[in-house]
Amino acid sequence: MNSNANHEFNNKDGNKKMMDKVMIFQAIKESFLKLDPRTMVKNPIMFVVEIGFFITLILSFAPQAFGNSGVEPWFNITVTLILLFTVLFANFAEALAEGRGKAQASSLKQSKKEIMANVVRPNGKIEKLPSAHLRKGDIVIVSQGEMIPGDGEVIEGLASVDESAITGESAPVVKETGGDFNSVTGGTRVVSDEIKVRMTSNPGESFLDRMISLVEGAERQKTPNEIALNTVLTSLTLIFMIVVVTLPFFTKYLGFQLEIPVLIALLVCLIPTTIGGLLSAIGIAGMDRVTQFNVIAMSGKAVEAAGDINTIILDKTGTITFGNRMASDFIPVGDVKNEELSYWTVLSSLKDETPEGRSVIELLKQRGAKIDKKLAESGAFIEFKAETRMSGMDLADGRQVRKGAVEAIKSWVKSQGGQIPVDLDEETNAISKEGGTPLAVAVDNQICGLIYLKDTVKPGMKERFEQLRKMGIKTVMCTGDNPLTAATIAKEAGVDEFIAECKPEDKIDVIKYEQKQGKLVAMTGDGTNDAPALAQADVGLAMNSGTTAAKEAANMVDLDSDPTKIIEVVSIGKQLLMTRGALTTFSIANDIAKYFAIIPAMFMLAIPQMDVLNIMRLDSPLSAILSALIFNAVIIPLLIPLAMKGVTYKPMSSNALLRRNLTIFGLGGVLVPFIGIKMIDILVALFV
């Protein structure tokens, strides 16, 4: 199953889960448990409604509890029941959103089993231990058919690993030592070969453990936008409470009295109960939608930030291109012969465990070159570093062999007092113009030739970047390649800007530069050298196949290891913000209709002229109050599917989005309650 198909499956599965009977019954149970005032006080708006419920409940059985009451007992009981259902519906929305996360956590827990691990002791002996006894730094051997006992990094060997328990993807992935694809996750299974793994986490601290706690999500932290909106809604509630509390003094002056149940009904209709009841569910559902795309968000703040992203920084290798840069040709320069270039290329690559290094050896074998591993045994291998941008071998006889970026090798040769071959730049440019990556090979002060590494742009990238452009998001490609190669790939992929010969610190610099312009920046990465930039970015998306350092630095992890998924993450972030904004607009707009229903009803008997405001021509003051209250309660469960699924997002400008939402949810929020309250009033009038 491919990644897109998998996402489609997950989304359908997620929607199906929302309607699962067991989950609905559990949410109903949670709705009653959440009536605990200690829980309700976290949602000030619904807490006010609950207090109103308790007051009307007392009045239902003791009408004189708060002084003389001229209201019929049946009215108190009816208001009490409506307020109870208003709170229960709000609790149900939150419980249903939480239930979806808990259901996913349960399926993850099933993959978390006690595994016996083959631990390599310092003396070389193998000891079998339960995975719960493993500690960070322990080395284990995992063979075909065995489960990987915990999170770790492959330090020896190569194997295919089935990660379907974590990612849902049926196709196994290759894990190997070296490079950025050496990270393995506990609970996955080795399906071929054997690997040696160094543990990178203690029991209870694994990636799977963190995933379970994150998707359960009941104790999630509120996001800054959510807190800000909550503050506004709470302030409105306090203002309306002051209005309602002082209202009896004015009505007493006018010569009539408003009963306590009527005042409570007025308060509940005035305050923004609709968005107050759905706000928490919207946030939880937003996190859940990200999870359905096999992305684990470390916080709701990251999902929200994704919705406001202005710039995306992307690595070229493995993100825009397939990343499997393999040797395809060897090009000698100067007076060097093919045989001589092959000899030094072998020496530079024999101990190079990176995929590129192994591809060099494989290509030489295919071409019939003799590979004598003894050549490198007496030498000291120089590992590749991002700062030097080259690797190689210091031989026992004092000679030094280096392989790396052309400019880095040129600088190194010049420092040795050597000359640059006249045809080097010409051959380098020829490779770069074809979109390839040239690596230079040198021994001491002489450049022998070039290794031609090929990489290809992933299909559909240009269309995806065009989609981001429509969202108003700038794309910047970072690559260690020379400017010509970078320009060729950038043009083919359709990115807005690129940075060639990019070092880890350059990525941080460009992120900081964009942030100083007041922009929010997202970045994808999978390597240890990406970790600082992932931490600096407002949204850092790390690949699950990447290194532990990258995953720990990021605030999102993509289980499918598809760097282009940042586009879906951005869309979900925008959808979350739009959903919250749309339902807030709808909630405030539908209050207008409630005002026209309940305010004239309260004053009509004492002030007959108020009847002019009864534009809906509601049957009686009591039916008007009850109709407004019933609509106020019923609209919450009716909006739950929209809160859970989210408002449909289409790439368009901010102004176009604003016009669209004001038309649909602003105008709709005014019209729907007028129709709904009138229909309810017709039914209520039959019984009142």
Answer yes or no: is 356 a known binding residue.
yes
Domain boundary among 396, 426, 456: 456
Identify the domain containing residue 175 by its residue range.
135-200
359 with 268, same domain? Answer: no
Q: Are 569 and 306 in contact (CB under 8 A)?
A: yes
First to last CA, the chain: 60
Q: Are 43 and 276 in contact (CB under 8 A)?
A: yes
Helix (H) or strand (E) holding 452: strand 446-454
Stretch among 4-8, 56-60, 426-430 having the lowest mean pLDDT: 4-8
Answer yes or no: is 308 a known binding residue.
no
* pLDDT for residue 160 is more than 80: yes
Stretch among 87-91, 126-130, 566-570 having the lowest mean pLDDT: 566-570
Q: Would the CA dihedral through 30, 33, 38, 41 be positive or negative?
A: positive
| Alpha helices, H only, 445-565 | 461-470, 483-493, 504-516, 531-536, 548-553
395 with 464, same domain? Answer: no
Question: Can you give the pLDDT at residue 436?
Answer: 79
Domain boundary among 456, 477, 510: 456
Highest mean pLDDT among 65-79, 547-561, 632-646, 649-663: 632-646
Stretch among 107-111, 484-488, 654-658, 667-671 having the lowest mean pLDDT: 107-111
Within a domain: residue 128? Answer: no
Answer with the residue of higher pLDDT: 377 or 221.
377
* pLDDT for residue 459 is more than 60: yes
* pLDDT for residue 5 is more than 60: no
Radius of gyration of the chain (CA): 33
CA dist., res. 672 & res. 317, Å (int): 52
299 with 437, same domain? Answer: no
Within a domain: residue 527? Answer: yes
Answer yes or no: is 444 a known binding residue.
no
Helix (H) or strand (E) holding 629: helix 621-645
Question: Can you give the pLDDT at residue 12?
Answer: 39
428 with 463, same domain? Answer: no
Within a domain: residue 583? Answer: no
Question: Can you give the pLDDT at residue 9?
Answer: 31
Tens of pLDDT, residues 616-650? 787 777 888 888 889 989 999 998 888 888 887 77
Question: Can you give the pLDDT at residue 141?
Answer: 93
**List of residues 6+ apart from 13 with CB closer than 8 A:** 292
Answer with the residue of higher pLDDT: 14 or 256.
256
Residue from 70, 87, 58 nearest 262 by CA: 70
Answer yes or no: is 426 a known binding residue.
no
Answer with the residue of higher pLDDT: 359 or 164.
359
Dihedral pair phi/psi, residue 525, rounded to 5°: -170, 165
* pLDDT for residue 84 is more than 90: yes
Question: Can you give the pLDDT at residue 50?
Answer: 94
Answer yes or no: is 526 a known binding residue.
yes
CA dist., res. 137 & res. 152, Å (int): 9
236 with 274, same domain? Answer: yes
DSSP string, 298-364: S-HHHHHHHHT--EEEEEIIIIIB----EEEEEEE-TT--HHHHHHHHHHHHTT--SHHHHHHHHHH
Which is the catalytic residue, given 162, 315, 558, 591? 315
* pLDDT for residue 611 is more than 50: yes
Within a domain: residue 118? Answer: no
Domain boundary among 171, 200, 229: 200
- Stretch 381-387: mean pLDDT, rounded? 80
Question: Can you give the pLDDT at residue 179?
Answer: 57
78 with 220, same domain? Answer: yes
Answer with the residue of higher pLDDT: 156 or 20.
156
Question: Can you give the pLDDT at residue 111?
Answer: 54
Residue with tokens 């026209």: 596
Within a domain: residue 207? Answer: no
Question: Can you give the pLDDT at residue 10?
Answer: 39
Answer with the residue of higher pLDDT: 140 or 625.
140
Question: Can you give the pLDDT at residue 219?
Answer: 45
490 with 532, same domain? Answer: yes
Question: Can you give the pLDDT at residue 225?
Answer: 75
Answer yes or no: is 259 a known binding residue.
no
Stretch among 3-12, 239-248, 285-294, 305-314 having the lowest mean pLDDT: 3-12
Stretch among 65-74, 575-584, 671-680 having the lowest mean pLDDT: 65-74
315 is catalytic: yes
598 with 548, same domain? Answer: no
- Stretch 237-264: mean pLDDT, rounded? 84
- Chain-wide mean pLDDT for the chain? 81
Answer yes or no: is 530 a known binding residue.
yes
613 with 530, same domain? Answer: no
Q: Are 527 and 504 in contact (CB under 8 A)?
A: no
pTM above 0.85, yes or no: no
Which CATH number characterizes residue 517's domain? 3.40.50.1000
Here the tokens at position 239 are 């203002």
- Stretch 443-448: mean pLDDT, rounded? 89
Which pairs from 80-83 meet CB under 8 Å and 24+ separation? 80/53, 80/56, 82/626, 82/629, 82/630, 82/632, 82/633, 83/49, 83/50, 83/52, 83/53, 83/56, 83/264, 83/268, 83/629, 83/633
* pLDDT for residue 321 is more than 70: yes
Categorize the per-residue pLDDT at 103 as very low, low, confident or very high, splitting at 50, 70 and 90.
low
75 with 30, same domain? Answer: yes
Residue from 178, 170, 2 nearest 562 by CA: 2
Q: What angle do CA 366, 372, 374 make, to 5 degrees?
A: 155
Name the percent of the chain lying above pLDDT 70: 86
Question: Can you give the pLDDT at residue 324?
Answer: 65
Question: Can you give the pLDDT at residue 80?
Answer: 92
Structural domain count of the chain: 4
Categorize the per-residue pLDDT at 109 as very low, low, confident or very high, splitting at 50, 70 and 90.
low
146 with 220, same domain? Answer: no
Q: Are 585 and 651 in contact (CB under 8 A)?
A: no
What is each CA distance from 472 to 26, 302, 458, 519, 655, in whole angstroms? 42, 19, 22, 12, 12
Within a domain: residue 275? Answer: yes
Q: Would the CA dihedral through 622, 627, 630, 636 be positive or negative?
A: negative
- Stretch 136-160: mean pLDDT, rounded? 88
**List of residues 6+ apart from 392 with CB closer than 8 A:** 348, 381, 382, 400, 401, 402, 403, 404
Q: Are 389 and 405 in contact (CB under 8 A)?
A: yes
Within a domain: residue 122? Answer: no
Q: Are 314 and 320 in contact (CB under 8 A)?
A: yes
Within a domain: residue 672? Answer: yes
The SS3 call for residue 520 is: coil
Question: Can you give the pLDDT at residue 6?
Answer: 38
Which CATH number characterizes residue 150's domain? 2.70.150.10
Q: Give the pairing type, strands 139-143 and 116-120.
A: antiparallel
* pLDDT for residue 7 is more than 50: no
Categorize the per-residue pLDDT at 218 as very low, low, confident or very high, splitting at 50, 70 and 90.
very low
* pLDDT for residue 170 is more than 60: no
Answer yes or no: is 170 a known binding residue.
no
Stretch among 275-284, 405-414, 435-444 having the lowest mean pLDDT: 275-284
Question: Can you give the pLDDT at residue 83?
Answer: 93
517 with 661, same domain? Answer: no
Question: Can you give the pLDDT at residue 652?
Answer: 67
Question: Can you give the pLDDT at residue 104?
Answer: 62
